[in-house]
Amino acid sequence: MNAELLWYVARASGLVLLPLFTAVVVLGVLTRGRRRPAGSPRFATLALHRSLALAALAFVAVHVGSVVADSYVDVTLVDVVVPFASGYRPYWTGLGTLALLLLAALIGTSLARVRLGQRAWRGVHALSWVFFALTLAHGLGAGSDTRTWWGLALSGACAVAVALAVVLGRSRPRWRPVDPPRRPAVLEGAHR
């Protein structure tokens, strides 16, 4: 495969991953907080969360595969699983490796959720915040397009979306539901 094409595939897949991961995290947070779009059942939000996570997994495979195959960057298969070992931007690539390892843990525990139990699964799944932060930092430091105005705007929008989801997901209404209005006693006697 052409080296220039691999470079474009690596860049494009990385840029697609950030909004995909953002959507997965936002849906996960809102579902956990019992929030969802009006009129949509909870299972639909969960199904969308899972489907986007699977799509993101496919893009991760494309991203990692194209980076390893690209001869311009010095990233090997060992660098994919050993953090901070890469010759190409070792710190930022290492953050991506940590994110990938954490993603493997998130996926593995989700597949074994029934055997692990809800409490253990939630404990590991809570690391999704760390995963998102690592992914965002990796993109900002290792990505070639994330330093452009539009790359920074995309990263900022994704960070804001996750932060807003956290605020909405953690907030509880401070008001009680209003009781239905009662009829005045005079009218209640008239209808008997």
pTM of the model: 0.81
Question: Does residue 190 fall inside a structural domain?
Answer: no
Give the pLDDT confidence score for residue 36 in this predicted structure: 58
pLDDT at 145: 86
Answer yes or no: is 148 within a domain: yes
Residue 112, Cα to own-chain centre: how many angstroms? Answer: 20
Question: Can you tell me the distance from the alpha carbon of 105 to that of 92, in angstroms, rounded to the nearest whole number?
Answer: 20
Residue 114 lies in a domain: yes
Give residue 22's Cα distance to chain centre. 4
- Is 87 domain-assigned? yes
**Residue 188: inside a domain:** no
How far apart (Å, rounded) are the C-alpha atoms in residues 48 and 24? 8
Helix then strand then coil, % of the chain, to nearest 5: 75, 0, 25
Residue 178 lies in a domain: no
Q: How many domains does the chain have?
A: 1
pLDDT along the chain (192 residues), means of 10: 86 94 90 63 80 94 94 89 92 95 92 86 88 94 88 95 85 50 57 52
C-alpha 147, offset from chain centre = 21
At 22 the pLDDT is 96
Residues 6+ apart with CB under 8 A from 68: 75, 76, 77, 80
pLDDT for position 173: 47
**What residue numbers bound the domain in which 52 lies?**
3-173
Cβ atoms within 10 Å, residue 21: 25
Report if residue 109 sits inside a domain. Answer: yes
